Structure 1
Amino acid sequence: MTTIENGPGTRELAGKRALVTGGSRGIGAAVVRQLLDAGAEVLTTARSATGTVPEGANFVAADVRTRAGAEALAATAQEALGGVDIVVHNAGGARPHEGALAIPDEEWQDALDLNYLASVRLDSLLVPGMRERRSGRIVHISSAAVLTPVGPFLHYVAAKAALETYSQGLALELAPFGIRVNVVSPGRTATPGGEATREQWAEVSARMDAAPGPTNAADTTPLGRDGRPEDIAHAVLFLLSDRAGWLTASNLVVDGGEFPRG
């Protein structure tokens, strides 16, 4: 029987080169820290520097919502790292509206560009190198909210649902080349971006004369608390590690039991 000599606290990703989008704060920054602790060399990106990028990571400002932005980031990753072995697509988000029909066309497109097409475009630029090396690991960050879509965020969850379907198909196509593609779907997580979104949702709910979202995780989560960025990052690191060497096309929901799958 083969024993995998790695795990939390080891340098299990030593020598690996990783790109993490949206890595300047919250879940993305926690993923960057986990990768650094595991020995990977990390390039991370956000639309602007925030001063909270984890120490030890390389950073470049980039907007992945456009093909040109994706091409520039891929070129920077190639120059800075000499190639990419690991990709974690974490950049995402959208603001709520007063129901699905109130979402303007431009915000539908922006949600698709940021939450879905950014991953498609970057993968198309980075996967060829992985395929040549017959090795690679990709994790796309989705959302557990896909399981219970609501009108104010329908553009966001629809884009994430597309990301999940794309990820499954890509995983099957790339499996013969030794490339694993998986999804992590966080539930409610205590991050600056998540808190801002919940405040926006409360404002929208008040205008709609609708009940606001839950005020604390104990209202909705069997484990009785919000997730922490590290909870999500641990799941990502597991899927990137050799411990998950027989996992591809999977979707790991990390939500404290809030959205159980039947």
Structure 2
Amino acid sequence: MQNEQNYNNELKGKIALVTGGTKGIGKAIADKLTQAGAKVIVVARNHGQKPNPEHHFLAGDISNAQDTEALVKEIVDKFGKVDILINNVGGLNSPGGGYSVLTDEHWEKDLQVNLLSAVRLDRLLLPLMTAQKDGVIIHISSTSGLVPQWEANLVYGVAKSALNTYSKSLSNEVANKGIRVLTVSPGPVKTEGMEAFLNGYANNAGISVEQMTQTMMDKIGGIPMGRMAEPTEVAELVCFLVSPKASYLTGANYLIDGGNIPL
């Protein structure tokens, strides 16, 4: 994109960990951090379709406590530290239809993926950041945490709302230890996951993907810019927030939604 920023190797010498970093927003962030000079570790269940050979890939499921502990041990043994943590793993795993169709299993799975995976990873890595008195943690949330749609994403919205509150609380706790904690809340983003979501709902409704996309945009109140975000646009914001240019920023939740949320 022509408006991409040049970070002039600003992150050289930094170790960055990106969860869910093999596709969509996570991969775009991992690619951008690599371009800015960071050594990037990506954690995901598999390599994805187009792995970046410059990334250090580790397989694992961070919604599982034992997997997460093993991954952190491996990271510490191999790299010694983590300077930048991007908690990007998340996803909509529960059915739409409101409270009555949601079981305990649906709630537990979405809370593990969208909230507790970040809480767990922060808890394991914060001692390293505290010891070096430096670090940045970014929680990738969603505008669904502010304006949930009960018909489609009730559990997801609740989990992201909780993530927002947790992130703000954590930022206050660790700010005087040299650690910055920030939240980034994208609106609809043009990823493979979003395309699959729209295709599924379009098929169920018997309408075209274009009609489903417009229905979704209308349902959330419209996007003044008239389109979904590109993953690289979210990555640009994240790369700025972890850079020295953002050294006084902590505790904030940055919306990147094309003007959707009327705040």
| Fold shared by both chains (TM-score > 0.5) | yes
Aligned partners of 1:162 and 1:205: how far apart in 2?
Answer: 31
Shift of 1:215: 5.0
Shift of 1:213: 5.8
Aligned partners of 1:97 and 1:139: how far apart in 2?
Answer: 28
8 Å contact 1:98–1:205 — kept in the other structure? Answer: no
Aligned equivalent of 1:75, options 54, 73, 76: 73
Mapped pair 1:45 → 2:43: yes
8 Å contact 2:62–2:117 — kept in the other structure? Answer: yes
Residue number in structure 2 paired with 1:121? 120
Residue number in structure 2 paired with 1:111? 110
Residue number in structure 2 paired with 1:236? 238
Give the secondary-structure state (helix, strand or coil) at the position aligned to 2:139: strand
Residue number in structure 2 paired with 1:256? 258
Q: Which moved more, 1:97-106 or 1:162-171?
A: 97-106
Give the secondary-structure state (helix, strand or coil) at the position aligned to 2:200: helix
Give the TM-score of the pair, scaled to structure 1. 0.90
Deviations 1:201-243 (A, max 9, x none): 445667xxxx956357698211112100001001111110111
Structure 2: runs of 5+ lacking an equivalent: none
Residue number in structure 2 paired with 1:18? 16
Cα RMSD (Å)? 1.9
Aligned counterparts, 1:105-254, within 5 A? 105-151=104-150, 152-202=152-202, 214=214, 220-254=222-256
Structure 1: runs of 5+ lacking an equivalent: 1-6
Mapped pair 1:27 → 2:25: yes
Give the secondary-structure state (helix, strand or coil) at the position aligned to 1:138: strand
Deviations 1:169-217 (A, max 9, x none): 10000001010000000111100011112233445667xxxx9563576
Residue number in structure 2 paired with 1:4? none
Residue number in structure 2 paired with 1:61? 59
Aligned partners of 2:153 and 2:205: how far apart in 1?
Answer: 12
Same amino acid, percent of matched pairs: 40
Shift of 1:136: 0.4
Shift of 1:117: 0.2
Deviations 1:131-176 (A, max 9, x none): 0111000000000122221112110011111111000010000001
Residue 239 of structure 1 aligns with an amino acid whose one-letter code is: L
Aligned counterparts, 1:93-108, within 5 A? 93-95=91-93, 96-108=95-107
Q: Which moved more, 1:132-141 or 1:90-99?
A: 90-99
**Runs (4+) of structure 1 moved beyond 6 Å?**
none
Residue 233 of structure 1 aligns with an amino acid whose one-letter code is: A
8 Å contact 2:96–2:154 — kept in the other structure? Answer: no
Shift of 1:17: 0.3
Q: Which moved more, 1:49-58 or 1:65-74?
A: 49-58
Give the TM-score of the pair, scaled to structure 2. 0.90
Give the secondary-structure state (helix, strand or coil) at the position aligned to 2:261: coil
8 Å contact 1:216–1:225 — kept in the other structure? Answer: no
8 Å contact 1:198–1:213 — kept in the other structure? Answer: yes
Give the secondary-structure state (helix, strand or coil) at the position aligned to 1:223: coil
Q: Which moved more, 1:66-75 or 1:159-168?
A: 66-75
8 Å contact 1:144–1:255 — kept in the other structure? Answer: yes
Residue 21 of structure 1 aligns with an amino acid whose one-letter code is: T
Give the secondary-structure state (helix, strand or coil) at the position aligned to 1:214: helix
Shift of 1:79: 2.2
